[in-house]
Amino acid sequence: MTVRDVLFRKSWVLIFLILVLAVQPAAAQDVPREETLIVALSGQIADPTNLNIYAPGVSRSGTGIHQMIYEYFFYQNLQTGEYIPWLAESYEYNDDFTAITVTLRDGVKWSDGEPFTTEDVVFTYETLMANPGMTWASEVTKNVASVEAADALTVTFNLTESNPRYHLNREAFPGVGIWGGITILPKHIWEGQDPLTFKSSDPIGTGAYTLASASQTTMVYERNDDWWGKDVFGVLPAPRAVSFQYLGDPTNVAFALAADEIDTPFIGILSLGPYLAVAARNPNVSAWTSEPPYAWLDPCPRPLMVQNATPPFDDPEMRRALSFYIDRQAVVDLAYEGTTVPSWGVWPFYDGLDPYFDAIQDLITQDRMGEYDPAAGDEIMTALGYAKNADGLWASADGALVHVNYVVDASSTEETRVGKVVADQLKAAGFDVEEQTLTGSVLSDMLLRGDYTIKLHSFCPGYIYDNLLLYHGKFYVPLGEPAPWYERNSFRYNNPAFDAIVDEMGVTPPDDVEKNVELFRQAVEILFQDMPTVPMVQAPALVPFSSTYWTGWPSAENPWNMPVSWWATFNTVIIGYPDPETGEWVGGIQPAGG
C-alpha cells in the first residue's frame, strides 16, 4: 500500500466518523447559495472593526479587503507572464528611468460614487511618506522622492534613483504581482484621519464589492451593481456575494468542501489526505492537476541555504557533494506527500518564465542540478581528502568529522517533515548531522548571524531578477553580524563577477527580454558552479475548487490565471481581465448552471 493510499484511507475514515460535527457555513443574507462564492479562511479575524489596510497587524488577505474592496493600477499574471492594466491604462519612464508617468483609466469611481483621480494617488503617497509606521512606508520612502499630478488622470512618480523595474515593486507601486501591493486610498475619506489609528470599518474602495457584514469568523461582501467596470469594461462579476469564513479546524473545512458548503479554501488548510477524501466524495472538487502533484506551485521555491563562510562548506565542491546526497524525490514523497516536484533552482516553474528556463536547459544538464547520485558525492568527498571512519562517517586526515548543523524551524510543519527526511539521508551518506529545532527570536538571531550549516528556506518573491538579487554581495556581512534578511545572503555568498551581471540586469528594462535572458544565463552559469544554496523542491499550494456552483477555475489544463484566493489578484479570477494585447476578455468564473 502506498503512502498516498494510507493517507487517503485514514483521512476518509476520520471524515466519515465525525461528519455530523461539520460546521455549516452560510451564504450571504438574502443571496441564494448558487449566487454566493464562499471561501474558507485559515484563521479568525482579530478585529473585524479595524480594516485599515496600512495598520500594522491588520490582515489585508485574511479579511478579504485587498481582494474585494481595493484594486490596483496593474496586475501581474505570473502564470502567463502578462502585465494587466486595471486602474491605470499605461506607464512610461523618462529616458534615464528616474521618473515614471502613469495614465489612469478614465471612468474609475470609488464605491461611494466619487471619481478616482490622481489627487488620491498623491494623497496616498504623501501620507505614506509622512507616516513611517504605516505598512511599507519605508519602502515607498526609499524608492520615491515625490509624486506629482499633471491633471486628473496623469501622475508622475519621481524616483530616488534610476530604476527601470520600479513598476514591479509591489511594496512601492500599486502593481500586484505576488500577494498584494501599495493600495491607493480615497482622499475624501482618509483626509484628516490618523492613518495608523483610523479603522476604516466600512472601507471605501474601487472594487466590485462592498462590505455587507463583518465578524471574527465571517466577512461578507456584496456586489456593487454600480461598479465602474460595468460601464468601462462592460462586465460585472458573476457572484452576487462573496463570503470569507473561518470554519475551524481542517476537518470542518474538508466536510464543508465535500458538501459544497464552500467553494475553495485558503492555502495550507487541506493536506493531501483530506483533499483526496473530499475529491472521492465530491466529484466536482478538483485541484490544479488531476494527478500528483495536485498542487499549484507557489512563487517561493525551497532550497537549502548553506553557510558559505564556514569550513568545510566554504568550498563549492563540498556544497555540490551535499547536493548529490539528497534524494529530492524521496523528500517530495515523504515530506510533501507527493504534492510538489523537485527543483533545479530557486524560481517557480511558471509558463511566463519559459524563455528564461529554455535558455539554460544545457546548463541544468551539464551541472547536474538537482540530481541524486551518492556515488558522485563519494567521489567528490574522496577527491577533497576525506575518508569514512570505522563508524561510516566522513572524516578529514586528522580524524575530524564533517559536521552539519541542520537548523529547523520547530513552528513549521513543513520544515520539521523535510528536516527528518534530509537529516536521515545525510546521516546515511556519512555526515555527522546535528539537528537543532528552534523558534522565535533565538532562531532568527542564529540564522541572520550565520550560525548554521544548512537551513531549508523559502526564496521569495520568485521573480527572475529579484531572486538573483538575493545572492548579491551588497547584502554580504561578515559572519557573526546580522544579515539584512534570511534569504538576502545570510548564507554569505560573495562573487563580484556574479554581482556585476545582476547589476547590469537591474538597469535593463524588464521588457528587453532578449538581453535579460542573456544576462540570466550568464548569472546562472556562475551560480550553478558556485552553488551557494542547494536546490530542493518547488513550493506547493494545494488549492482545491468545487465546480458545483462556479466553473471556469484556473487549472493546469486551462492555466489562464493563478488559483489563489488570498492574493489581491483574486478579483481577476472572479471577474476575468482584458487581454493586454488584444483587449479581449479573459476568464472569470461563471455560474455552473449558466
Determine the angle formed by the axes of helices 3-17 and 250-258, rounding to 10 degrees: 80
What are the residue ranges in the chain where pLDDT is below 70?
1-29, 594
DSSP strands (E only) in 46-141: 74-77, 82-85, 88-93, 99-104
Phi, psi of 389, rounded to the nearest 5 degrees: -85, -170
All CATH 3.10.105.10 domain ranges of the chain, comma separated, are: 296-540
* Cα atoms in the Cβ-side hemisphere of radius 13 Å centred on 269: 28
Q: 166, 149 in Cβ contact below 8 A?
A: no
pLDDT digits (tens, 9 = 90+) for 262-278: 999 999 899 999 999 99
pLDDT of residue 30: 84
All CATH 3.40.190.10 domain ranges of the chain, comma separated, are: 33-68+195-292+544-591
Phi, psi of 158, rounded to the nearest 5 degrees: -90, 120
Distance of CA 51 to the CA centre of its chain: 22
Q: What is the Cα–Cα distance from 293 to 273, expressed in whole angstroms?
A: 13
**Residue range 296-540, CATH number:** 3.10.105.10
Q: What is the Cα–Cα distance from 509 to 360, expressed in whole angstroms?
A: 21
pLDDT of residue 28: 60
Cis peptide before 301 (omega within 30 of 0): no
All CATH 3.90.76.10 domain ranges of the chain, comma separated, are: 76-186
Q: 568, 72 in Cβ contact below 8 A?
A: yes
Residues forming a β-bridge with 136: none
Residues forming a β-bridge with 294: none
DSSP string covering 355-419 = HHHHTTHHHHHHTTTT---HHHHHHHHHHTT-EE-TTS-EE-TT--B-EEEEEEETT-HHHHHHH
CATH topology (fold) of 76-186: Dipeptide-binding Protein; domain 1 (3.90.76)
Residue 160 CB neighbours (<10 A): 14
Determine the angle formed by the axes of helices 496-506 and 513-530, rounding to 10 degrees: 160
pLDDT of residue 551: 98
Q: What is the Cα–Cα distance from 577 to 584, expressed in whole angstroms?
A: 8
pLDDT of residue 278: 97
Phi, psi of 401, rounded to the nearest 5 degrees: -75, 150
pLDDT of residue 29: 66
C-alpha angle 85/88/92, rounded to 5°? 90
pLDDT digits (tens, 9 = 90+) for 277-335: 999 999 999 999 999 999 999 999 999 999 999 999 999 999 999 999 999 999 999 99
CATH topology (fold) of 33-68+195-292+544-591: D-Maltodextrin-Binding Protein; domain 2 (3.40.190)
